[in-house]
A and B are shown apart, each in its own frame.
Chain A
């Protein structure tokens, strides 16, 4: 149906499907294995709906031990495993293959330990990102990485994709806030890495696991760094009459030495969609920035005054500093709802390229030109502070050929990002969406090293098949894995 190829399913595995399902059911508790075709269909994709394929079965364990049991069975029977959190990936990170078993973490939602003195929380990874911060609210702490899908996405998925979010400009992304993990290896062995200490000796294996997109192991428990909530935080909303000027303002703020918690960017296409949903009265202009600063009241006022000076040199259409908690919520709600609200305009592909902040004006201009050349509208909504762009290409999924054109457009934007000195993905991960562009970013040697590491963790190459590495590049590894006993 579309341009990104998936491998042919292993007919041997498909033929053994009844035995595989029976083997899983025999060792797992009732209601854990889903295998009827009507039911597996609901798991055929994540939030990248252009690519769909029902899995052979879905396993929803309730404990780490059950995950291990399922992994052991799949390993013994040589069945690929696709890990899945909440299935909110925009890159197809949880796309199954017909010969694979999905192991979902959504039933692993316990909070295991909260320790504010040592500033950590230990959770099962099926818990949603927002539920972690909600648990800490009364204690005056929060978990900083906040992807826009934080209401629904799981910590497991956040770790797999090294997720960021609006507030990561100041607090860092998932890897900067992850202290320890409990993982289930492809063989079913359970391994603990790190823990509630700031530094660990030896190689940084947690760093390896974080962002590995389910290629190395399934993370079932995590120890997360928590931070005290600031005394206060307030956003300002700045409207500009051109995308480039907004881009310049971002550079100006960072250059001045200010470190806001977040600098978010939304363009007019996105504003229209959001306005229809939230009705916050966002200004009608080419682009807005949402800049959030935090600290005491005096600190906030001081930072906002400095931002106002920087912005005013660029003749903003509007400069609105929030004065109350309600106004802050209203300003943020639109941004947090942006992706879903875009659904009101039609189908979209969401990209995730990252460029150096100084290259934002140039990149935005080129995206605008490409949009005209392809005849497809593009909406930009992204974390401008760290140059993490999210162009959303609008298309009509029911119109033949439009998806393919949108995908080509998307690939051009990502090439543009790499050429500007950036990279393919800031936080969504490679998945299948950017898989075939990995050769644009990395040399053959770079990719060879990454695949060697995967082979160490997953010698049979069973975990999350056909993601991250271009199929022709990974073919020798996969063939070698198939031969090994």
Chain B
């Protein structure tokens, strides 16, 4: 597409990048077809092509965006389905990130919106605060109908029934490899995930150690910055990213690291993009080093191969592809291949390329669109009649888990189970229920979820 930036505008590296991205777009419209919000709303303004247009207009003319422009850009899930679809290689992620940053700097949101975003940015990335908030939300949940704002209601509804205590494993420490050491890896322990579900990191550590990895939880590692990054809050997100980079570089330049393992794909997409995110920062070189080291847990496990993966029941697993994994990192087959290698029967729902509506804080900020996407996702998953659902991202797990009785686990929990770890908690619970049902009602088929 033709663009119209002045030399002065192009002196800014973010604008220069956006110009290059816009120039590569031919406005063919393919992206509209796989955009979840376009599917739900049917307005091109809520599609990548429409948003690209809004962003182009805003950036070219140094405009203070109006409310409609902000609304349409806010409605983007950043699922990046459009990037998988785009034949011209338009890097939509960098463009929408730039737009979000630009909006945050130039546009004054309404007071309640500002308060909400401030609150999320101050709570979600900090596991201690988030855990307290979850306990509060759980207590307040019975009164949620009294709240006028659907976003606040969504927050209360998100609180899980079981809020785990902080895990000892998430403290800075080294876990030695079991057997001879094949790799030394750092684990990105994350933030919100640590408050919501401690089983995931526990299973990851067990799985990696069992496969010959020394696992390091570096001192000073924490939130990757994705949550605030997607709100356009650059200062906060860059500060978090810098802290992570310093923590990882200390290990890398110390005893050395073969990889930084990420088990929340939303974070993985961000860490892999650190080089771009911090391109103008003093830590730019280190950021690039960390970015190339980052690996999703399924990538590293594909490299390692599964040892003796025959300890789990051969359940029928519906694999939910998290967008940050399938679109953000273009990892599609590794999780399914690993699950199959571990003896599970893997099924995939129709329209697996479409987002479940979780998308970081999206389910809290845009509850209407999010719940429509959730309903569609649940329908397609349940149509595959799975005994268990697996996903590689805590956000998706919360979103889907809140709408189904089918047990839901992180892929890594199944791989851990199959290679000798404990049975995942939610499967154990579901099996117990089924056994009780069997005792009470005399139901013969104890397998989960079978029609």
**A contact residues vs B (CB 8 Å cutoff):** 34, 36, 38-39, 41-47, 49-50, 60, 86-88, 104, 106-107, 109, 126, 128, 130, 149, 151-153, 276-277, 337-344, 347-348, 397-398
Chain B residues with CB below 8 A from A46, complex form: 27, 29
Pick the interface stretch among B38-46, B134-142, B413-421: B38-46
CB atoms of B2 and A398 under 8 A apart: yes
Could you list 12 further interchain pairs (A-B, Cβ under 8 angstroms) beyond the known A38-B57, A50-B2, A342-B88?
A: A34-B43, A49-B26, A149-B29, A149-B30, A151-B85, A277-B89, A337-B87, A340-B28, A341-B88, A343-B88, A347-B2, A398-B23
Closest to B31 in A: A152
Residue B115 CB within 8 A of the other chain: no
Closest to A346 in B: B23
CB atoms of B25 and A343 under 8 A apart: yes
Closest to B69 in A: A38
Interface mask (B59-75 → A, CB under 8 Å = 1, otherwise 0): 00000001011001000
Task: Give bound CA distance, A44 to B50, whole Å.
Answer: 10
Q: How many A-B residue pairs have CB under 8 A?
A: 109
Chain B residues with CB below 8 A from A344, complex form: 24, 88-89
CB atoms of B30 and A343 under 8 A apart: no
Chain B residues with CB below 8 A from A347, complex form: 1-2, 26
- Minimum CB–CB distance from A119 to chain B (whole Å) comes to 24
Chain A residues with CB below 8 A from B33, complex form: 86, 128, 130, 151-152
- Subset of 28 A-B contacts with CB under 8 Å: A36-B66, A39-B68, A39-B72, A42-B44, A42-B53, A43-B44, A47-B29, A50-B2, A60-B42, A60-B43, A86-B33, A88-B28, A106-B42, A107-B43, A128-B33, A130-B33, A277-B88, A277-B89, A339-B26, A339-B28, A339-B87, A340-B30, A341-B87, A342-B88, A343-B26, A343-B88, A397-B1, A398-B2
CB atoms of A87 and B89 under 8 A apart: no
Chain A residues with CB below 8 A from B50, complex form: 42
- Minimum CB–CB distance from A416 to chain B (whole Å) comes to 25
Task: Give bound CA distance, A330 to B29, whole Å.
Answer: 22
9 smallest CB-CB distances across A and B, nearest first, come from: A340-B87, A343-B88, A343-B26, A107-B42, A397-B2, A337-B87, A152-B33, A42-B53, A42-B50
- Minimum CB–CB distance from A107 to chain B (whole Å) comes to 4
CB atoms of A343 and B28 under 8 A apart: yes
Task: Give bound CA distance, A317 to B446, whole Å.
Answer: 61
Residue B269 CB within 8 A of the other chain: no
Chain A residues with CB below 8 A from B24, complex form: 343-344
CB atoms of A88 and B26 under 8 A apart: no
Task: Give bound CA distance, A148 to B1, whole Å.
Answer: 20
Closest to A397 in B: B2
Chain A residues with CB below 8 A from B53, complex form: 41-42, 44
Residue B429 CB within 8 A of the other chain: no
CB atoms of B88 and A340 under 8 A apart: yes
Task: Give bound CA distance, A46 to B29, whole Å.
Answer: 8
Task: Give bound CA distance, A231 to B76, whole Å.
Answer: 41
- Minimum CB–CB distance from A324 to chain B (whole Å) comes to 16
Task: Give bound CA distance, A49 to B52, whole Å.
Answer: 13
Chain B residues with CB below 8 A from A149, complex form: 28-30
- Minimum CB–CB distance from A470 to chain B (whole Å) comes to 26
Query: Per DSSP, are chain A's interface residues mostly helix, strand or loop, or mixed?
Result: loop
Residue picked from B25, B32, B50, B68, most chain A C-beta under 10 Å: B32
Chain B residues with CB below 8 A from A87, complex form: 29, 44, 49
Task: Give bound CA distance, A42 to B31, whole Å.
Answer: 14
Knowing A41-B57, A86-B32, A151-B85, say if A109 contacts B42 (CB, 8 Å): yes
Closest to A50 in B: B2
Closest to A274 in B: B87
Task: Give bound CA distance, A468 to B36, whole Å.
Answer: 35
Task: Give bound CA distance, A58 to B203, whole Å.
Answer: 52
Residue B106 CB within 8 A of the other chain: no
Closest to A129 in B: B33
Contact of B29 among A104, A126, A152, A348 (CB under 8 A): A152
CB atoms of A38 and B54 under 8 A apart: yes
- Minimum CB–CB distance from B333 to chain A (whole Å) comes to 12
Chain A residues with CB below 8 A from B426, complex form: none
Closest to A398 in B: B2
CB atoms of A86 and B87 under 8 A apart: no
CB atoms of A47 and B28 under 8 A apart: yes
CB atoms of B45 and A42 under 8 A apart: yes
Chain B residues with CB below 8 A from A39, complex form: 45, 68, 72
Task: Give bound CA distance, A232 to B25, whole Å.
Answer: 36
Closest to B1 in A: A49
Chain A residues with CB below 8 A from B69, complex form: 38
Chain B residues with CB below 8 A from A60, complex form: 42-43
Residue B302 CB within 8 A of the other chain: no
Task: Give bound CA distance, A42 to B23, whole Å.
Answer: 16
Closest to B19 in A: A398
CB atoms of B27 and A45 under 8 A apart: yes
Task: Give bound CA distance, A205 to B45, whole Å.
Answer: 35
Interface mask (B10-25 → A, CB under 8 Å = 1, otherwise 0): 0000000000000111
Task: Give bound CA distance, A50 to B2, whole Å.
Answer: 8
Residue picked from B27, B31, B90, most chain A C-beta under 10 Å: B27
Closest to A52 in B: B2
Knowing A43-B44, A106-B42, say if A152 contacts B68 (CB, 8 Å): no
Cβ < 8 Å to A, chain B residues 326-369 = none
Residue B3 CB within 8 A of the other chain: yes
Chain B residues with CB below 8 A from A43, complex form: 44
Residue B86 CB within 8 A of the other chain: yes
Task: Give bound CA distance, A361 to B88, whole Å.
Answer: 29
- Minimum CB–CB distance from B330 to chain A (whole Å) comes to 13
CB atoms of B30 and A151 under 8 A apart: yes
Chain A residues with CB below 8 A from B29, complex form: 46-47, 86-88, 149, 152-153
CB atoms of A106 and B26 under 8 A apart: no
Chain B residues with CB below 8 A from A86, complex form: 29, 32-33
Chain B residues with CB below 8 A from A130, complex form: 33
Contact of B68 among A38, A126, A276, A343 (CB under 8 A): A38
Chain B residues with CB below 8 A from A348, complex form: 26
Task: Give bound CA distance, A60 to B87, whole Å.
Answer: 27
